[in-house]
Amino acid sequence: MKGKVYLIGAGPGDYKLITMRGLEYLQQAEVVVYDRLADNRLLAYAPENAEMIYVGKASANHTMKQEDINQLLVDKALEGKTVVRLKGGDPFVFGRGGEEALLLVENDVPFEIVPGISSSIAVPAYAGIPVTHRGIAASFAVVTGHEDPTKTNSSIYWQNLAKATDTLVFLMGVENLPYITKQLVEIGRSADTPAAVIRWGTKPEQRTLVTTLGNAAEDVKKHGIKPPAIFLVGHVATLREKLAWFDTRPLFGQTVLVTRAREQASALTAQLESLGAACIEAPSIKIEAPSDGYAGIDAAISTLDTYEWVIFTSVNGVKHFFARMKEAGKDSRALAGIRICAIGSKTAEEVAKHGLIADIVPAEFRAEGIVEAMKEYVSEGTKILLARAKEARNVLPEELTKRGALVTIAEAYRTVVASTNGDELADMLREGKVDWVTFTSSSTVTNLVSLLGEGGADLIRQTKVACIGPITAATCAQYDIKPTVMADEYTISGLVQKIEAYYHA
């Protein structure tokens, strides 16, 4: 039985610009054939057991010839596989998708085309340059910049192209820029025509050079701009001065190392990226079941009606507690008559997802805040269940016990060192490729230092460090790491706000 091939445009660079249809098919893939311009974060949406085949092509550096890629798609489909061909931009705009589709037709392999957002319009838009604009440009043309300048007969109609179209967009044309600009000027396009060169458009690494047609080649050489980049010629380039938006955001150009557990990193990454930062998700911790299993928390849940209070100190604690409740055949009704204390607004929100409102949410989001908030509710013999991580501090149970409470500590989960490549992270820090390191718990600090190996703390000290709160900062101090900023409100939003405020200051 034959499989099917989906030729999907992954968009111009920003992985979130893929279409809903493209994402839907990617999530069903058995084989993913992807190229250099498809953001690797897209690959996370494919099934874990999908076969990943990289066929990336850079100028003069082809991992696999186009003819071999075409045949690969056919071969995998004939094995009965669902194949996704993930291509940068749009498959049919200089993406050679037509060649791939034709060989599929020849071999009677079913396929679908999923258009993608072309870099020819998206990249200028992210640079604040509309390719058409009322009163300035009523037409635009998209041209390959890859044509060999030594060819005797050009396939580009330069004479008509230069004079008949308001805006010209050359894709992949940086290396041929002297030839392109020479052709346009010789056939009558003014050397003073505004122009722009945009590298890595729509990505945090985006760089835009506004120039003129006559100066473009020299300016690109002067500023060291390399592929991938587009070259735009036309008076619309002047609009960037007023319409620039993407690379004017407060954290644009900053690279941030996100050390949260993988399943939680996206929340921090999303907030940082919305402010223009480039994020490297390199979890230093991984959330797992307690080393001795769930016996402790399961025992507590089985006698839940004997407790007066349940205290949650983290979102993870809430998630694992209710997961074990479900495993025991119970739900929120089992907490009837029991009061709940949640440390922090996010923990309280997680509790609310189960139809419960926390009775106490301390103003200070740490153990000391809980002790202060609960002092009037705790007396001799008050029974309290504390669902928390194995590695948590003992301040809370010790202080509550001093007040006469009977505290049961139920380990809901544990944090362990993640399998992140520490050597690779160390190289990035050593080479100055990271501007910020974020720490959202004490365990992210200790585990990152461990991952980096000998001299890890020294490498971290070379960057700016953002801590979520004083407990995490105190752990940093154990390694002589001084935080650049610390959140006023001990939440992810508070952490991001503090980083942003650093630049406003």
Q: Is 57 a catalytic residue?
A: yes
Element (H, E) at 476: helix 470-478
User: What is the distance between the alpha carbons of residues 318 and 385, in angstroms, rounded to a whole number?
Assistant: 12
Nearest 10 degrees: Cα torsion 227, 230, 231, 233: -170
Nearest 10 degrees: Cα torsion 244, 229, 116, 121: 40
Place of tokens 């330069």: 158
Furthest-apart CA atoms within the chain: distance in Å: 95
Distant-in-sequence contacts of 449-452, Cβ < 8 A, 24+ apart: 449/479, 450/284, 450/417, 450/422, 451/284, 451/417, 451/418, 451/420, 451/422, 451/425, 452/422, 452/425, 452/426
Question: And the tokens for 450?
Answer: 């461990």
Give me the phi and psi of 298, to 5 degrees please: -65, -40
Peptide bond just before 228 cis, omega within 30 deg: yes
User: What is the distance between the alpha carbons of residues 434 and 257, in angstroms, rounded to a whole number?
Assistant: 7
Picking from 149, 187, 148, the residue whose alpha carbon sits closest to that of residue 168 is 187
Picking from 309, 308, 310, 337, the residue whose alpha carbon sits closest to that of residue 321 is 310
Please name the residue ranges forming H helices in 375-415. Answer: 395-402
Q: Is 35 a catalytic residue?
A: yes
User: What is the distance between the alpha carbons of residues 72 and 23, in angstroms, rounded to a whole number?
Assistant: 22
User: What is the distance between the alpha carbons of residues 332 and 301, in angstroms, rounded to a whole number?
Assistant: 12
Chain centroid, CA 267 distance in Å: 10
> What is the strand order of the sheet 167-171 is part of?
140-144, 167-171, 229-233, 194-199, 207-212
474 with 456: CB under 8 angstroms? no
Length of the chain equals 505
Of 90, 172, 319, 346, which is the active-site residue?
172
Of 2, 4, 57, 433, which is the active-site residue?
57
Q: Is 172 a catalytic residue?
A: yes
Element (H, E) at 212: strand 207-212
Please name the residue ranges forming H helices in 254-363. Answer: 262-274, 295-302, 315-327, 345-352
495 with 268: CB under 8 angstroms? yes
For β-strands 406-417 and 285-288, DSSP reports them as antiparallel
Of 14, 35, 39, 90, which is the active-site residue?
35
Enzyme catalytic residues: 35, 57, 172
